[in-house]
C-alpha cells in the first residue's frame, strides 16, 4: 500500500500565489532540532508552522540509485566541504527530516564530563547531567533509541568486535534510533525499510497530531524584525512553475537549520552584527576511514551500519568504530579510480570498513562574504597527531581480528601488511594536506553561553542580541561532545522549546 503524505505537510501544489501565514511559533528546519522543538511547542498547545527547504519523500522513494538520492536528500547534492588545509566533505540533509534522514542513527547521550564543563565553566547550570537526564529519557523513548535486534549486526561489525575483544579494549553496543533495523545498510541514502526513526517517524507525527503544519520547499532568506524583535520569517517557495514568496509572522521565531545554515542566515541578515561569536567555535568531529582486507568473507553489505564503538581511548579524545557501507561507498573510500580500483574491488566481500573520530581542538568559522557561504575549518597538527595515532589503533584492531592488509587514507602511504607496519606511521607523520577526512557532525557555530559576551544565545536559547529569535539546533552546542550528536541536539531543542512554550503561555495568560 502506498505510504500517505502525512496530514499537516503542505507542498507547493497545495497553495497558490504568494503565501502569507501567521502562527504562534515559526520553526525553520525539520531535522533533529527543528522537529523536536516543533513537537514540544505543538504539544504545549501552540500553533506551530515548520518551514522546510527540501521536499518530503516517502520511504518507498528512497531508491537504490545513490547519486540520485544524494541530489534528492542533500544540500548541493552532497558536494559540500569545508575549506582549509585539507577540504573536509560534509553532508547536510535538505529534506523533511533533515540530516536525521541521512545519518547513521547512532544515539549517545552527551558525556557527563562535557555537561559538567558546560554547566560550570560556561555558566549553564541547566545543562548539568542531572537536569538533562529526564530530557534524554524522553528523547530516547521518542526516537526508539535501542540496541539492535540480535543477529542483525553483520560481518563488518563482527570483525570489529572480535578485534576489540582480542586486544581487551573496551567497546560498547550502540543504541540507534530504529525499530527492527534489519541491516539493509543504506542509512546514508534514506533507510529503505523504514526502520530508522528519523524525525519523519518520531517527532513530526507529534507535531501533526496536535495540529501543527509543515510547509516544504520553503527557503528562508529573511528574518523579519520589528521594533528590535524577531516577528517572522520570509523567503522563496521553490515552485517549479513560477517564483513565489512566503511570509510567516509569529510571536516567536525558532531557527533550526543546523550549524551551517543557521549562522549563515544570521550573517546574511546582519543579526547581532557586533556579536563576534556568530559563526565561530564551529567544530566538526573530523573522521577518517580505514579499510581492512580479510581472508574470510566479511559481507559488509549485510548488517547494520554501526553496532559498536570502541571507547578504550575516549579519554584521549579518540573513538574507533566500524562503519558498514554499501559497495559504492566502499569503492569511494579507496580514493582510487579506473582499472586499478576495479581490481581491488574484486575483493569487496572480504573488505571491512571502519572509521576514527577525534574530539577536535581546532574550531572553524562560518562566513558569508557578499552573502556567499564559506565554511572554514583547519585540522590542526595536534588533531592530526591524534588522527595518526587513532588510525594506527584501528589498524591494530583489524590485525588482531585477522586482517591481511589495512588501507589508510594518507596519500602516498603503503598498504599495511602487519601490525609491525603500524609503528612506521609515526616515523613519518602524514601531513594534514595528505589526509582524506570527512564528517557528519557539525556543531557549535552559535554557541549557548551564560555570559552574553561569550555566546550567541542564552540558556533559554534566545539570541542575546535579538529578542524573539530562538536557536534550537546543533549550532547552539557550547562545544564539541565527542559522540554522535543527534540525541544532544534533540535534548537541547526540547529544553529550549519547553522554556519558550512556558514563556508564551505565561504571556498569553497575562
Partner 1 sequence: MGRNFSFKGHTRRIARALVDTMMPRWPELEVDLTDRILDDVEGVVRGFPAAFQVGYVAGLWALEAASPLLGGGPQPFTRCDLETRERRLRALQDSKVPQLRQVLLLYGVFVTASAYAQPEVEAFLGVPRRAWRDARARFRERLVQMEASRPLRPATPEALGSHGVAPAATYLDEGTLAAEALRAMGE
Residues near partner 1, by CB under 8 A? 64-68, 70-71, 76-79, 86-87, 107, 140-141, 144-152, 154, 175, 179-180, 182-184, 186, 192-195, 301-303, 326-332, 335-339, 341-342, 345-346, 348-349, 372, 411-412, 433-434, 436
CB of 343 to partner 1, least distance (A): 8
**Beta carbon nearer to partner 1, 228 or 338:** 338
Q: Pick the closer one to partner 1 by CB: 284 or 463.
A: 284
Q: In degrees to the nearest 10, what's the CA dihedral of 99, 102, 105, 106?
A: -70
- What's the rounded Cα separation, in Å, for the pair 10 and 49? 10
Partners of 20 in the β-ladder:
247
Torsion of CA 54, 60, 64, 69, to 10 degrees: 0
Cα–Cα dist 296/474, whole Å: 41
User: What is the rounded CA–CA span in Å between residue 256 and residue 286?
Assistant: 22
Residue (of 450, 496, 501, 454) closest to 473 by Cα position: 496
Distance of CA 314 to the CA centre of its chain: 20
- Min. distance of Cβ 173 from partner 1 in angstroms? 9
| Least distance in angstroms from the C-beta of 162 to partner 1 | 16
> How near is the Cβ of 396 to partner 1 at its closest, in Å?
27
**What residues have CB less than 8 Å from 14, skipping those under 6 apart?**
none
- Rank residues 146 and 249 by Cβ distance to partner 1 and give the closer one: 146
Could you give the count of Cα atoms lying within 13 Å of 122 in the half-sphere of its Cβ? 24
Instruction: Check if the beta carbon of residue 504 is closer than 8 Å to that of residue 46.
Output: yes
Answer yes or no: are the C-beta atoms of 223 and 253 closer than 8 Å: yes
Write a three-state SS string for 172-195.
EECEEEECCCCCCCCHHHCCCCCC
Closest to partner 1 by CB, 170 vs 411, is 411
Nearer to partner 1, 23 or 490 (CB): 490
- Residue among 64 and 121 whose Cβ is closer to partner 1: 64
CB of 159 to partner 1, least distance (A): 14
Per-residue CA distances from 439 to 88, 132, 436, 465 (Å)? 7, 26, 11, 31
Least Å distance, CB 153 to partner 1, is: 8
Q: To the nearest whole angstrom, how small is the minimum distance from the Cβ of residue 287 to partner 1?
A: 16
- Would strands 88-90 and 229-237 be described as parallel, antiparallel, or unpaired? unpaired
Nearer to partner 1, 112 or 137 (CB): 137
Closest CB 89 distance from partner 1, rounded Å = 8
Residue (of 261, 309, 253) closest to 92 by Cα position: 261
Residue number, 411 or 428, with CB nearest to partner 1: 411
Strands 469-471 and 244-255 come out as: parallel
CB of 183 to partner 1, least distance (A): 6
Q: How far is the CB of 479 from partner 1 (least distance, A)?
A: 25
Q: Which is nearer to partner 1, 43 or 149 (CB)?
A: 149
Question: Cα-flanking dihedrals φ and ψ of residue 265, to 5°?
Answer: -65, -40
The number of residues making up the chain comes to 510
CB of 249 to partner 1, least distance (A): 30
The set of cell numbers assigned to 185 is 545498510
Q: Distance between CA atoms of 251 and 262, rounded to whole angstroms?
A: 19
Nearer to partner 1, 175 or 210 (CB): 175
CB atoms within 10 A of CB 353: 21
- What is the Cα Rg of the chain in Å? 22
* Cβ distance to partner 1 smaller for residue 76 or 165: 76
Relative orientation angle of helices 32-43 and 129-143, to the nearest 10 degrees: 90
Q: Is the Cβ of residue 353 or residue 480 nearer to partner 1 in the bound state?
A: 353
Instruction: Tell me how far, at minimum, the Cβ of 346 lies from partner 1, in Å.
Output: 7
CA angle 135, 446, 245 (to 5 degrees): 95
Which three cell numbers, joined as nine digits, stand for 298?
566479511
Which is nearer to partner 1, 157 or 445 (by Cβ)?
Answer: 157
CB 157 to partner 1: min, Å:
11
Amino acid at each position: 500500500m502506498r505510504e500517505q503524505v502525512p496530514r499537516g505537510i503542505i507542498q507547493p501544489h497545495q497553495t497558490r500565489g504568494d503565501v502569507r501565514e501567521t502562527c504562534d511559533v515559526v520553526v525553520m528546519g525539520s531535522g533533529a532540532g527543528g522537529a523536536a522543538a516543533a513537537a514540544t511547542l505543538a504539544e504545549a498547545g501552540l500553533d506551530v508552522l515548520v518551514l522546510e527547504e527540501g521536499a518530503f519523500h516517502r520511504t518507498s522513494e528512497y531508491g537504490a540509485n545513490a547519486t540520485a538520492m544524494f541530489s534528492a536528500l542533500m544540500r548541493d547534492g552532497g558536494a559540500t566541504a569545508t575549506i582549509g588545509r585539507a577540504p573536509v566533505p560534509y553532508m547536510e540533509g535538505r529534506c523533511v527530516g533533515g540530516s536525521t534522514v541521512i545519518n547513521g542513527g547512532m544515539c549517545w547521550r552527551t558525556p557527563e564530563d562535557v555537561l559538567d564543563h558546560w554547566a560550570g565553566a560556561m555558566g549553564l547550570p541547566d545543562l548539568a547531567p542531572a537536569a538533562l537526564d529526564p530530557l534524554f529519557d524522553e528523547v530516547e523513548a521518542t526516537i526508539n533509541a535501542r540496541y539492535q535486534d540480535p543477529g542483525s549486526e553483520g560481518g563488518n561489525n563482527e570483525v570489529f568486535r572480535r578485534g576489540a575483544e582480542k586486544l581487551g579494549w573496551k567497546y560498547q553496543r550502540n543504541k540507534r534510533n530504529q525499530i527492527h533495523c534489519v541491516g539493509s545498510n543504506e542509512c546514508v541514502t534514506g533507510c529503505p525499510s523504514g526502520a530508522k526513526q528519523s524525525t519523519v517517524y518520531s517527532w513530526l507525527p507529534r507535531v501533526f497530531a496536535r495540529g501543527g503544519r509543515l510547509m516544504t520547499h520553503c527557503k528562508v532568506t529573511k528574518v523579519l524584525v520589528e521594533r528590535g524583535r524577531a516577528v517572522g520569517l520570509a523567503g522563496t517557495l521553490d515552485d517549479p512553475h513560477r517564483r513565489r514568496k512566503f511570509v510567516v509572522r509569529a510571536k516567536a521565531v525558532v531557527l533550526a537549520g543546523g550549524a551551517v545554515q543557521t549562522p549563515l542566515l544570521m550573517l546574511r541578515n546582519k543579526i547581532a552584527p557586533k556579536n563576534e561569536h556568530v559563526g565561530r567555535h564551529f567544530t566538526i568531529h573530523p573522521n577518517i576511514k580505514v579499510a581492512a582486507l580479510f581472508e574470510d568473507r566479511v559481507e559488509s553489505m549485510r548488517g547494520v551500519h554501526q553496532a559498536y564503538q570502541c571507547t578504550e581511548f575516549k579519554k584521549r579524545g579518540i573513538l574507533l568504530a566500524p562503519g558498514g557501507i554499501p559497495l559504492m561507498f566502499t569503492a569511494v573510500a579507496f580514493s582510487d579510480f579506473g582499472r586499478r580500483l576495479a581490481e581491488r574491488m574484486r575483493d569487496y566481500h572480504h573488505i571491512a570498513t571502519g572509521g576514527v573520530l577525534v574530539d577536535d581542538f581546532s574550531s572553524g568559522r562560518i562566513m558569508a562574504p557578499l552573502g556567499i557561504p564559506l565554511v572554514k575549518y583547519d585540522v590542526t597538527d595536534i588533531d592530526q597527531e591524534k588522527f595518526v595515532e587513532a588510525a594506527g589503533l584501528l589498524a591494530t584492531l583489524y590485525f588482531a581480528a585477522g586482517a591481511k592488509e589495512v588501507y589508510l587514507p594518507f596519500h602516498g602511504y603503503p598498504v599495511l601488511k602487519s601490525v609491525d607496519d603500524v609503528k612506521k606511521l609515526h616515523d613519518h607523520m602524514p601531513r594534514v594536506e595528505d589526509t582524506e577526512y570527512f564528517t557528519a557532525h557539525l556543531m557549535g557555530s552559535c554557541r549557548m553561553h551564560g555570559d552574553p559576551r561569550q555566546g550567541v544565545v542564552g540558556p533559554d536559547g534566545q539570541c542575546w542580541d535579538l529578542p524573539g529569535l530562538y536557536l534550537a539546533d546543533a549550532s547552539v552546542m557550547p562545544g564539541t561532545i565527542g559522540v554522535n550528536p543527534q540525541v544532544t541536539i534533540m535534548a537541547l531543542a526540547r529544553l529550549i522549546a519547553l522554556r519558550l512554550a512556558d514563556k508564551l503561555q505565561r504571556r498569553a495568560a497575562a
